[in-house]
Amino acid sequence: MEFIKSLIDFILHIDKHLAAITSTYQGWTYLILFAIIFAETGFVVTPFLPGDSLLFAAGALIAGGKSGLDIYIMALLLVVAAFAGNTVNYELGKFLGVKVFKADNKILKLEYYLKTKAFFDQHGGKAVIFSRFLPIIRTIAPFVAGVGRMPFLRYSLYNIIGGLAWVISFLMIGYFFGNIPVVKKNFTIVVLAIILLSVVPPIYAAIKNKSAGKAA
């Protein structure tokens, strides 16, 4: 329970926590953020780690000019982290298969797998790109691609395109808009808005599919 509280506090006040991390660890901040993005995309058991909000906050922090971090180095490292994480996740899916998802598992819920598989069935390979912008699905999608044995080269192409689009877009949005006074003053609200905007599409799709199923 204490871990959940700490995680929620970290996400909601991610700007302050990132500033504290940078102040304490300085250049090692690159490695810390690399590890978070790698884990969030690389391990099917860590969909709860911050992704969108972390990228946005990192961009805003660098734009502030006091962090000592470079936006281009950060972008390069986090794109590599996103690509490498998804590749590891894909290989894990290929090796472990669908059996790890169970109805009574609180982390590896069968429901998550089924929703992500439906997303793949609807969008095909492009789902690897689209999933980058959807929490939980972002973490499950590469695993499902591995379970489904999508050809590795084809998967890697979608993987790098999605990783580039996701990291660069959120990092740069934070860099250019994160220090606007009204955004800076209401950073927690902005983070919540980012989270809500990320989760609304899959929720809407799930409701729509459920309604279509009932109608049929």
pLDDT digit string, tens, across residues 148-198: 888 899 999 999 999 999 999 999 999 999 888 898 888 888 888 887 877
104-145-141-48 Cα dihedral, nearest 10 degrees:
60
CB 139 within 8 A of CB 39: no
Model pLDDT, residue 196? 80
Model pLDDT, residue 200? 67
Residue 155's nearest CA partner among 181, 124, 178, 176 is: 124
DSSP string, 61-125: HHHTT-S---HHHHHHHHHHHHHHHHHHHHHHHHHH-GGG-BTT-SSSBHHHHHHHHHHHHHHGG
Residue 42 CA neighbour count, 13 Å, CB half = 16
Q: Look at 102-111, 114-123, 164-173 and tell me which has the smallest mean pLDDT.
A: 102-111
Buried-state track 177-186, b at ≥16 Cβ within 10 A, e below 16: bbbeeebeee
Residue 78's nearest CA partner among 16, 165, 145 is: 165
Domains of the chain, by residue range, sit at 2-215
Query: Model-level pTM?
Result: 0.83
Model pLDDT, residue 88? 96
How many angstroms separate the most distant Cα atoms in the chain? 58
